[in-house]
Each structure stands twice: as C-alpha cells, then as structure tokens.
Amino acid sequence: PDSRGPPPNWPEIVNRKLQFPPPLLGAIQEGRLGLVQQLLESGAEAPGGGPGGPPRNVEEAEDRSWREALNLAIRLGHEAITDVLLANVKFDFRQIHEALLVAVDTNQPAVVRRLLARLEREKGRKVDTRSFSLAFFDSSIDGSRFAPGVTPLTLACQKDLYEIAQLLMDQGHTIARPHPVSCACLECSNARRYDLLKFSLSRINTYRGIASRAHLSLASEDALLAAFQLSRELRCLARKEPEFKPEYIALESLSQDYGFELLGMCRNQSEVTAVLNDLGKDSGAEPEAEGLGQAFEEGIPNLARLRLAVNYNQKRFVAHPICQQVLSSIWCGNLAGWRGSTIVWKLFVALLIFLAMPFLCLGYWLAPKSRLGRLLKIPVLKFLLHSASYLWFLIFLLGESLAMETQLSTFRGRSQSVWETSLHMVWVTGFLWFECKEVWIEGLRSYLLDWWNFLDMVILSLYLAAFALRLLLAGLAHVHCKDAPDGAACRYFTTAERREWRTEDPQFLAEVLFAVTSMLSFTRLAYILPAHESLGTLQISIGRMIDDMIRFMFILMIILTAFLCGLNNIYVPYQETERLGKFNETFQFLFWTMLGMEERSVVDMPQFPVPEFVGRALYGTFTIVMVVVLLNMLIAMITGSFQKIEDAADVEWKFARSKLYLSYFREGLTLPVPFNILPSPKAVFYLLRRIFRFICCCCSCCKAKRPDHPPVPTFANPGAGPGSGEGEPGSYRLRVLKALVQRYIETARREFEESRRKDLGNRLTELTKTVSRLQSEVAGVHRALAEGGMRQPPDGASILSRYITRVRNSFQNLGPPIPETPELTVPGVVGTQVTSEMGLQDAGGARRPASGESGPASPARVLVHREQESEQAGDLAKADELGAKEGS
C-alpha cells in the first residue's frame, strides 16, 4: 500500500496481532517489497472470537523480532517496506521510539517525519512521547543499541543533524536539563537506588546533547550566553563528579569552541559591536555580570559581553582575532602609529612619561578636558602613567633603605621621627584610595575575583600595620614622658639601646613588617608583565608553578613531620648533639638537609650503636625520599605546568593581556598615585552640581536616560541610532545573533556534505543501496515475466541507472568513464539482460575493475519505455529522491 494514502484503520489493527514470520528479516534484507507484503498478510492470526476478538498476548521474543524488523528496514533505507510495516503492524511506544532513534542515527529525515506522525496519531496509550522516563525503570530495553538517556533529540544534536533536530523541536521535543548532583528529590533518589550506572550515563548523554552545536544553535535565543553558562556549569561538574571528569572537560572545551566559531561568523564591524557590547537581558542576574554596567572612558564601548566572557573564563573566545583587534584598537586610541612602532621608540616614550610624570599629572589635574587631558585618557598612555608612578614608589622604597644604611646610628635607636621613616605612606594613602574606588566601581564580588587585588589588600594592610605600630611607639613615648620625664618607661621609649628592647617591642614588629611589605611591593610589579608577549607568558608560568608548589607542600609536610617525629624521639634521651634532640632544632636540620646544606656526621653517636644505626637508617631514608623522589617529582610537576602553558602560550597570553587592557578602559582613575588623593577641580565641580541637584530637586532632567550603546546604523537596520526606540538595541543584537547562528548552520551543513562527498565509504554504501533496490526491481520484473503478466516500469528507473553510472564514474583511479546504459525497447515491459546475482557481481566489479580494461561493462542494462527516453537525468539530489520512491 502507498505510504501517502489514507491512514489505516487503527481499531482493526488494535484488535489483531500478527505472528512474526521467520523469512521476514531475509525479505527486508533483500529489499523484496512484494514478499514482505505476502508474509504480513499470511502472518495475520485469525482471532478465535471473530474479526473483533480480543488481542493475543505476544511473547517478548516475538516483540523483539518485530522491533528488529522495523529497525532493519529503516537502517537499510527501505522506506517503502518501512511504510508497509507501520501500516500493517501495531507497534507500541517503545518500539516506535527505538525506530525513531534508528532513523535519526542513519540521518533519514523523511522516516523521522513518518514516525513522528505515527506517534501523533497514537494517542490511546496516554504516554508522553516527548520523554523516555517511563522506560528508565524497564529492563526490557537493555537490549537496545542506544545508551540510557539518549532521546531522538539528544541523538540528533550529538550528531549535529540540524534538519532532524529542528524537526523534533518543532514537534515539541526538548532536552530537560539534569538536576544538580546533590539533588535529593524523589525522582533522583529513585533513579540512583534503582540503577546508579544508568542514572550517571543518562546524565552524561543528556549533557552531550545540550553541549552540542546543534542544540546551542537551535534551542537558545542567545547562543553565546548559553555557551558561556554551559561551559561554567560543565567546569563545576568536572570538579563535583571526578569519575566523569574527562567527559565533562571535553564537553566544556566543545562549548568554548562553539563560542569561538560563532564569533568568527561576523562579517562587519557593526555585527561585532552588537555582539561584544550588548550584555542582554538574561545575563543581568548572573553573579559574573556584577560590575559589568560600569562606564568606560568617553568614546570607548563598554564591551559588556567581552567582559562577561572574561569572568566566565572563556579563553578561546577572548583570544579570538576579532576580540583582540577590538581591544588593540581601543588600547591605542588615536595613536595610530603606536602599534607599528619599534620597541626602541616605545621605550623612549615610556622614559619621557616617567620623567615628566609630575608635570603631566599637574596638567590633567588643572584641565582634564583639555587636549592633554584627552590624550592622557588613552588607555596605553594611562597605563604608562600608572606604571611610571609605581616605579617612582619603588625608587622611594629603595631610597629609604639606602638612607637607613647610610645613617645607621640614627636608625639603630629611637632617635628618628615617624615621618622620616614613613615618606612612602604618601603613596600608600593613594593606593588605599585607589582600591576603595575600584571596589565602588566594580563591586565587591567582582573585585575579589582578581587575585592581584588580594595581594594589594595584603600589602596595604602590612603597610598600615607598620605605620600604626610606629604611631603607637610615638604615642607611648609622648604619654610616658609627659607624666614622668625621668622615668624608666620614658627612657625605654626614647633613648634605650636596641639590645635593651623587649622581644615584642613595636619597633621590632614595624621593621619586620616593613621589610616583608617592601619585598611584596616589588613582586607586585609583575602585574604589568602581560603587556609584553614573552614576559607575560613567563608570568603566567610562574603563577602555575606557585600553584603546584602549594599543592606539593601538603605531601611534603606529611613526610617531613613523620621523619621529624621519628628522629626527634631517637635523640631526645641522649642529647649528644646540639642539632638533634629538640623539636625546633630537628626541624631546621631536616629542612636544610633537603637543600643539601647539612653534614651527615650530625646523626653519629659512637657510644650508642643501636640508636645510631636506626638514626642513620632514618636519615638515609629521609634523604632518598625527600631529595631523590619528592624534589624530582616537584620538578616534574613544574615542568609539566610550564609545558602546558607553552603549548597554549598564545591563548594564555592574550587572555591575560585582555584582562590588563580592560582594567584601563574604565572611566575615572586617570590620575595615578599619589596625585589621586588631591581633590581636583573637576571632582569639586561634580560634587557641587550633585548637591545643587539634590537640593533643588532637578533630577527630572536625568530620568530620560540614554542607552549606553545605541545600535549601530546598518543597511539591515537603517533606523538604528540615538533616536531609535527603546527596545531596538536588544532586538538588533538578537537579529545579529540569529544571523550568525544561521551562517554557522549553513557552514556546518556545507562541511558535512563536502565530507560525505569525499568519503569513499559513504559513496560505496550509497551505491550498494541503489544496486540493491535495482536488483529487487529486476527480480520483480523477472517474476512478472515468468507469470506472463505485464508490469509498468517504476518511476525514475532510467534516472536510477544513470545515477549509478555517474557515481561509478566519480571514483578516482577507476579507469575511464562508463558510458550510460543504452536503452532497449520492449513494449510495456521493463527487463534486464542479466540475473540479480550477475547484477551484484557487476556492481562489485565496478569497485574493482580489471587492469588494462579500456571500458568496464555496465552492471545492468535496464530496458525502459520509449516514453521515458525524454526524461532528464537531473542532479544527484533528484536521483536520490526518485530512487527512494521506486520501491513503493
């Protein structure tokens, strides 16, 4: 029967069951449609109670046979046989569901449509056809070739079959996002209790579908934001479920690649501006979006989407050439020749800014809107200005250290004043005000996400603590000398020698804190290293090495403590050596032993041979374990981290440089330390204006707030601009994203088709299927001729023969082209000159021609009507369509 005919009478089919005929699988394998129809008609069981009798219970083995028959027909591409099976056999939901999976797996959109229509008509069982949750607890589907959790939409998305995925989504199919790992709801609890492995595999397969390019493209309104959020979620799942960490890491990398490739679909600057600047409504509530509404300098877009990518750690997206081009153009501003200038010229300009830094800051302080003020707002010059200020601060620290060395008699006691040792506090005050403004602009959470800010807080805290201790010392001296000028307390805090000071003396603590803080201040200079490619890569590598050392310290402390207790317990009763027998001394001895700075003779005790032997054994074991094993393991870890950075050096450096660039794009913070602590005329003017508006209630003029970034006028959006409607920026951004997604899908389809054309295996499979269909038709013609009947030729038989010839001629290195099959005329009959077996042999011979043949023979000579001689061969797509219809 024709698959496009009226729908079958479902009540009649429901009330009857078919016995599975054993030759059915062979007939499907050979593609014999007539034999399949005969077997289905002969296998119909006559119910005992007449045509309307009750259905017979079918055994599970027979049920699996029917399911296998339907899946085989779909897998072999016999659409006509598939239609006959669907029209004559009552398949339940699970059978149709698995057949749908097979159709998706073999990429047959037409069969998918038929099966979806079948599911739509089958409403009697009241089963949700959009989920497979009922089959989760059913062991009867364990024989399926598909893993748990694989739905038709999930499978289509995993294979990036955009047409089938869109077809399923139009029918209402969705991929439900799995619950969190720690979810304790009834569904998750029952699933874990029933089958933990199936539950885990179901989660993994679901995330494979969600992270696929097809699902991100078709199921998300904002594909970029969905990719960013999914990447973060998968990264968290890799930490929470370490047993599936490789799978989650691979999916996370796939999400990052999708964002990278989608950005590459941009074709002009207006599209790039819409994608990188507009944050979108859905991402406003995200924690990573905190602080993204901050304003940048005048003329600089806010780059909200790019900063969101930085917060989501999307390194490949940020390192994309388009993003880097945008950042570099903003970084240089109006200095067009800066990017192409030499290193010598850049160093010369940096030196001039370093020397003229006070005068430049004074000029900006007086006239921020002047030409000099606008020039200093360019990010690269702002960066050089702040770097020069920090270098001056380090020079002052060195100056204080040299002054202490030259005036040793003054600084050895308490004769120096607080201000003589605290000139650096002018810069510290500026740094403190700078950090407070950063917290105000970025927000506390965004501020704490940067590890450099933690170092700044530590440095400032230590400076303030040292300064507070010096003030405390001066205050104590003032109080004690005021009450009793000749007392011991006054003498202690004013003229006492250093050897007379107590251990907890405030000046001791202040000097120690200042020394540590000075060291940390010089390490803070590494923040500017990402501006240079080689230095930035080294800075990133050092950071990773420090992380390895911190993790290595846990193992080191465990082993060190074990040997420390053992050796200390051996030498405590004897006290034969000054280096062992005390906990503190033993710890120092073992620590310096790791660095090879101790002598072996320390553990010798000739008077006590047994403890000496055990002590030497423990000391030798410690040396082998620590020096030979653990230290070399640390070196291997550091080498591995360095190699990982070197393998992705370009991406890592560009990501670090982008964060450095973005920190200098913000509005304000132009004046460097310590000039920022001076209230500028601009700040005074803004303060007075705000007070005036607050008092006079003149805020109504500010209610009509302009959008931060109006849409860029384009040919596709000519009305965009400052006067556009309120909702146009978001709509233009969505239109741009949809255009990018559409280009991405078209590119993926072209690449898929190109790979299929280049794949010899796929072409051989297509040829085998076509020859099999032709063979079944030839066999049918032979049977019709043997019975003395006349049969009309199938539609497209001539085109089918030409298609086979063209496919064979397209193979490389298979000899000269094969001429098209000559057509012979037999009135009203389609015949052949060879049997079906010879057709198969010739088809195989088409793949393996004998060497030296001038022209291989045709596999089958098809006889057609004279009426069909005028039919055109058409292209390959039309031949495929007609070849698919010839079996019906």
pLDDT category at 388 given cuts 50, 70, 90 is very high
Domain identity same for 767 and 857: yes
Domain identity same for 820 and 869: yes
| Of 446 and 291, more confident | 446
The residue assigned the tokens 């009226």 is: 6
Which pLDDT value is given to residue 62? 61
Long-range contacts, stretch 176-182, CB < 8 angstroms, 24+ apart: 176/131, 176/206, 177/206, 177/210, 178/202, 178/203, 178/206, 178/207, 181/237, 181/240, 181/241
Range of the domain at 625: 534-647
In a domain, residue 805? The reply is: yes
Which pLDDT value is given to residue 82? 87
- Work out the average pLDDT over 825-849: 36
> How many Å apart are CA 427 and CA 791, to the nearest integer?
100
Pick from 352, 350, 301, 349: which is nearest to 327 by CA?
301
- Work out the average pLDDT over 548-554: 89
Which pLDDT value is given to residue 263? 93
> How many Å apart are CA 112 and CA 99, to the nearest integer?
9
| Of 2 and 297, more confident | 297
Last residue of a domain, one of 593, 627, 647: 647
The residue assigned the tokens 């794949």 is: 759
Last residue of a domain, one of 478, 495, 529: 529
Domain identity same for 784 and 875: yes
528 sits in the region (left: phi over 0; alpha: psi -120 to 50; else beta) called alpha
> How many Å apart are CA 870 and CA 546, to the nearest integer?
79
Query: Considering the chain, what percentage of its residues have pLDDT values greater than 70?
Result: 74
Query: Could you report the per-residue pLDDT of 259-312, keeping only the tens digit for each?
Result: 999 999 999 988 998 899 876 555 545 555 555 555 566 668 888 899 999 989
In a domain, residue 735? The reply is: no
Which pLDDT value is given to residue 725? 39
Count of CB atoms situated within 10 Å of the CB of 651: 16
In a domain, residue 824? The reply is: yes
Say yes or no to pLDDT of 514 above 80: yes
> How many Å apart are CA 164 and CA 797, to the nearest integer?
29
Domain identity same for 560 and 624: yes
Query: Could you report the per-residue pLDDT of 197-243, keeping only the tens digit for each?
Result: 888 888 999 999 999 999 999 998 899 999 999 999 999 999 999 99
Domain identity same for 774 and 880: yes
Measured in whole angstroms, the distance separating CA 431 from the mean position of its chain's CA atoms is: 36
Lowest mean pLDDT among 251-255, 511-515, 669-673, 678-682: 678-682
Count of CB atoms situated within 10 Å of the CB of 804: 26
pLDDT category at 449 given cuts 50, 70, 90 is confident
Domain identity same for 548 and 497: no
Query: Could you report the per-residue pLDDT of 111-167, keeping only the tens digit for each?
Result: 999 888 888 776 554 444 444 444 444 444 455 677 777 889 999 999 989 999 999
> How many Å apart are CA 595 and CA 75, to the nearest integer?
68
Burial label, 227 (beta-carbon count in 10 A; 0-12, 13-18, 19+)? buried
Last residue of a domain, one of 612, 647, 682: 647
| Of 506 and 294, more confident | 506
Measured in whole angstroms, the distance separating CA 801 from the mean position of its chain's CA atoms is: 48
The residue assigned the tokens 């653990």 is: 630
Which pLDDT value is given to residue 476? 87
- Domain of 627, CATH number, reads 1.10.287
Say yes or no to pLDDT of 51 above 60: no
CA angle 658, 528, 446 (to 5 degrees): 55
Extract the tokens encoding 207. Answer: 């995330």
Domain identity same for 491 and 567: no
- Work out the average pLDDT over 682-694: 78
Say yes or no to pLDDT of 762 above 50: yes
Lowest mean pLDDT among 99-113, 421-435, 733-747, 797-811: 797-811
| Of 686 and 241, more confident | 241
Lowest mean pLDDT among 113-117, 412-416, 645-649, 670-674: 412-416
Q: How many CA atoms lie within 13 A of 763 on its CB side?
A: 21
Query: Could you report the per-residue pLDDT of 359-369, keeping only the tens digit for each?
Result: 999 998 888 88
The residue assigned the tokens 């899908």 is: 745
Cis peptide leading into residue 674 (ω within 30°): yes
Which pLDDT value is given to residue 646? 87
Count of CB atoms situated within 10 Å of the CB of 47: 15
Domain identity same for 493 and 605: no
Lowest mean pLDDT among 184-193, 303-312, 599-608, 737-746: 599-608
**Which of 484-498, 529-543, 567-581, 669-683 reaches the highest mean pLDDT?**
529-543
- Work out the average pLDDT over 578-601: 84
Which pLDDT value is given to residue 339? 83
Lowest mean pLDDT among 330-334, 551-555, 577-581: 577-581
Lowest mean pLDDT among 128-132, 382-386, 524-528, 650-654: 128-132
Extract the tokens encoding 183. Answer: 């979810």
Instruction: Report the sign of the C-alpha dihedral through residues 440, 444, 445, 448, in that order.
Output: positive
Say yes or no to pLDDT of 85 above 60: yes
Extract the tokens encoding 649. Answer: 């050096």
> How many Å apart are CA 178 and CA 205, to the nearest integer?
10
Q: What is the DSSP string of 457-469?
A: HHHHHHHHHHHHH
In a domain, residue 635? The reply is: yes
Say yes or no to pLDDT of 880 above 60: no
Domain identity same for 538 and 507: no
Pick from 551, 565, 570, 562: which is nearest to 625 by CA?
562
Which pLDDT value is given to residue 137? 45
pLDDT category at 496 given cuts 50, 70, 90 is confident
Contact 204, 149 (CB under 8 A): yes
- Work out the average pLDDT over 738-761: 83
Contact 316, 227 (CB under 8 A): no
In a domain, residue 306? The reply is: no
In a domain, residue 454? The reply is: yes
- Work out the average pLDDT over 331-354: 89
Instruction: Report the sign of the C-alpha dihedral through residues 417, 423, 424, 430, in that order.
Output: positive
Extract the tokens encoding 564. Answer: 């420390």
Which pLDDT value is given to residue 206? 92
> How many Å apart are CA 819 and CA 858, to the nearest integer?
8
Domain identity same for 498 and 482: yes
Which pLDDT value is given to residue 59? 53
> How many Å apart are CA 801 and CA 774, to the nearest integer?
8
How many domains does one find in the chain?
3
> How many Å apart are CA 666 and CA 297, to the nearest integer?
6
Domain identity same for 763 and 880: yes
pLDDT category at 81 given cuts 50, 70, 90 is confident
Pick from 517, 382, 513, 512: which is nearest to 456 by CA?
517
Instruction: Output DSSP code: residue 302.
Output: -
Query: Could you report the per-residue pLDDT of 810-824, keeping only the tens digit for each?
Result: 554 444 444 443 333
> How many Å apart are CA 770 and CA 120, to the nearest integer?
31
Contact 791, 831 (CB under 8 A): no
Mean of all residue pLDDT scores within the chain: 76
Which pLDDT value is given to residue 815? 44
* End-to-end CA gap in the chain: 8
Phi, psi (5° rounding) for residue 296?
A: -100, 180
| Of 242 and 720, more confident | 242
In a domain, residue 364? The reply is: no
In a domain, residue 751? The reply is: no
- Work out the average pLDDT over 670-697: 81
Kindly state the helix (H) or strand (E) to which residue 86 belongs, with its residue range.
helix 79-88
Domain identity same for 486 and 583: no
